[in-house]
């Protein structure tokens, strides 16, 4: 796979990234959306020991340096503490600025959720920032800011103290905008091993669409042609969701058709991403009672899509379609979990397969079109895929073939999940890796009604006897009302009740293109557990 786009430098000791605006440096809470630090640690095994040496505000973009070794961490901690690291920011202030105070020095005190500049006084930690006007552009005046110290919100506070709040910084009196126009453009330090000065630079990208800038920083467009572009209120479009699905856009909202403003945005996205056409689906809470023809997305703009077409995810090929009701063929919010299987890396000291994956057995319950199964088979495991739909299992076989995998070397089982979990147990089958990703609600003739919030413990209880000692369970759920902490505790309690012990646990939320914010809370929860 290609490298992560936001990585601008990596060697044995350092990882340097250009963080996009809208992404925290690290997760603000245990079950919140991942920050770039958390996301990177579970991205590659060689990044699992990353250390945070400094931070950027969520809405500030720019250069972040992470340490990869103990030697680097010690050196960089000393350099940041002794103020030997030189940082240069650029920012935009609305209007024409002809003069600015070149040096600001103050104490900075916290007042509620913001900070304020106060005159230097005894006992206060002083903050110092140097400013310089660089010129003008169509948004206002471009200004350089060089912080000598590193206090929280320092540049923002010192700009506002001069009555020059940064564009988009409404917390400090700035004019509302589609992002905070503050960017860490340059950072210089002494390399922790060579001792030579190294300088890293990343352009501000102030002209980029913030939603696209965030995705393009994290998602390799060569290896991935399917991801979420706009995620509702998190991207300033409440109730509207837009996915890239191969060469097409899929718009979704509660309305039957996109609004004129949404059609205009879709047209802009088609042109900007060089895609072929756009479709729209009306979201309905009554999925079970919606006929396939009504649930299918309708063509809106550009070219129409063929009955089936290819999309790419994590370098693999999958078949997609807009003619199968609500099913397009791939749940895009599980992309990072599938990558974890391919990389055999859930998190620090947590592989999916302990031994050689070629000797591993994997069971994918509720397999749908078998995307998880393809990743397991590609990693080397022998996979059993179980689903209630023959059509989806056939779809899964085609996905195997699209990736050069022989379906005949793996098992595809049609039937009710609970019934087959019992059958497999009686047969003495055991698996190294087991996936439970059930629908929030389903109904089968044999198993009756399944509701995730009430029936998930029973599902785990039926699956645990099939998991080998040392095996890994992936348990996922998209019931939005079920709080992550309660979901994780349910899994632990069910494991205890079945006399199994957790050796390792990793909680992961939905990927960062499905942005979790107070106005658009997360819905997808996944807990990976390794069991004794």
In angstroms, how far is CA 362 from the centroid of its own chain? 25
Q: Cα–Cα distance between 284 and 289 in angstroms, integer?
A: 10
In angstroms, how far is CA 7 from the centroid of its own chain? 16
Contacts of 491 (CB under 8 A, 6+ apart): 460, 475, 527, 529
Cβ–Cβ under 8 Å, residues 348 and 378: no
CB atoms within 10 A of CB 435: 28
Cβ–Cβ under 8 Å, residues 251 and 263: no
CB atoms within 10 A of CB 220: 15
Active site residue 57: yes
Beta pairing, strands 140-147 & 126-137: antiparallel
Tell me the helices (H) and strands (E) count for the chain, helix number first: 12, 27
Which helix (H) or strand (E) segment holds residue 339: the answer is: helix 335-343
Q: Which two tokens stand for residue 324?
A: 């199968």
Q: Which two tokens stand for residue 467?
A: 């998991």
Cβ–Cβ under 8 Å, residues 339 and 347: no
In angstroms, how far is CA 100 from the centroid of its own chain? 39
Among residues 313, 347, 342, 320, which one has the least CA distance to residue 219? 313
Among residues 437, 489, 487, 441, which one has the least CA distance to residue 463? 437
Q: Which residue has the tokens 């992002």?
A: 179
Work out the end-to-end distance of the chain between its first and last CA atoms, rounded to an integer number of angstroms: 33
Cβ–Cβ under 8 Å, residues 424 and 466: yes
Choose, from 11, 38, 57, 437, the residue flagged as catalytic.
57
Contacts of 150 (CB under 8 A, 6+ apart): 54, 80, 83, 87
Looking at the annotation, which residues are catalytic? 57
């Amino acid at each position: 796979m290609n490298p992560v786009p936001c990585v601008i430098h990596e060697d044995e000791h350092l990882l340097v990234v250009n963080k996009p605006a809208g992404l925290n440096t690290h997760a603000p809470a245990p079950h919140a959306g991942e920050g770039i630090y958390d996301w990177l640690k579970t991205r590659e095994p060689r990044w699992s020991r990353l250390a945070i040496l400094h931070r950027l505000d969520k809405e500030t973009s720019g250069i972040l340096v992470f340490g990869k070794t103990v030697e680097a961490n010690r050196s960089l901690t000393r350099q940041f503490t002794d103020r030997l690291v030189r940082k240069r920011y650029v920012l935009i202030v609305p209007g024409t600025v002809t003069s600015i105070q070149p040096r600001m020095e103050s104490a900075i005190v916290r007042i509620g959720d913001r900070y304020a500049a106060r005159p230097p006084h005894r006992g206060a930690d002083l903050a110092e920032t140097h400013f310089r006007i660089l010129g003008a552009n169509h948004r206002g005046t471009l200004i350089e800011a060089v912080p000598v110290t590193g206090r929280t919100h320092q540049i923002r506070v010192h700009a506002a103290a001069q009555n020059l709040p940064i564009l988009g910084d409404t917390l400090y009196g700035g004019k509302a905008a589609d992002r905070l126009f503050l960017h860490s453009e340059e950072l210089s330090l002494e390399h922790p091993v060579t001792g030579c000065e190294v300088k890293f630079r990343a352009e501000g990208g102030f002209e980029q669409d913030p939603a696209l800038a965030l995705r393009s920083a994290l998602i390799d467009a060569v290896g991935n042609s399917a991801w979420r572009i706009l995620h509702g209120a998190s991207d300033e479009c409440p109730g509207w969701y837009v996915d890239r699905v191969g060469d097409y856009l899929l718009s979704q909202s509660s309305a039957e058709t996109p609004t004129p403003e949404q059609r205009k945005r879709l047209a802009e996205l088609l042109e900007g991403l060089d895609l072929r056409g756009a479709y729209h689906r009306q979201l309905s809470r009554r999925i079970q009672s919606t006929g396939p023809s009504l649930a299918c997305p309708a063509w809106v703009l550009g070219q129409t899509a063929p009955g089936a077409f290819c999309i790419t995810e994590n370098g693999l090929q999958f078949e997609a379609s807009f003619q199968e009701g609500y099913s397009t063929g791939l749940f895009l919010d599980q992309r990072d979990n599938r990558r974890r299987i391919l990389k055999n890396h859930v998190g620090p000291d947590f592989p999916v397969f302990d031994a050689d994956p070629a000797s591993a057995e994997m069971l994918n319950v509720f397999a749908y079109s078998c995307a998880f199964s393809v990743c397991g088979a590609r990693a080397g495991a022998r996979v059993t895929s179980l689903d209630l739909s023959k059509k989806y299992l056939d779809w899964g076989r085609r996905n195997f073939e699209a990736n050069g995998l022989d379906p005949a070397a793996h098992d595809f089982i049609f039937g009710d999940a609970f019934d087959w979990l019992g059958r497999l147990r009686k047969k003495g089958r055991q698996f190294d890796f087991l996936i439970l990703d059930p629908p929030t609600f389903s109904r089968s003739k044999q198993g009756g009604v399944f509701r995730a919030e009430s029936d998930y413990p029973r599902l785990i209880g039926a699956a645990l006897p099939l998991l080998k000692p040392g095996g890994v369970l992936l348990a996922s759920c998209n019931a939005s009302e079920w709080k992550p902490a309660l979901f994780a505790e349910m899994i632990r309690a069910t494991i205890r009740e079945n006399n199994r012990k957790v050796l390792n646990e990793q909680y992961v939320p939905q990927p960062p293109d499905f942005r979790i914010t107070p106005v658009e809370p997360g819905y997808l929860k996944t807990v990976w557990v390794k069991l004794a």
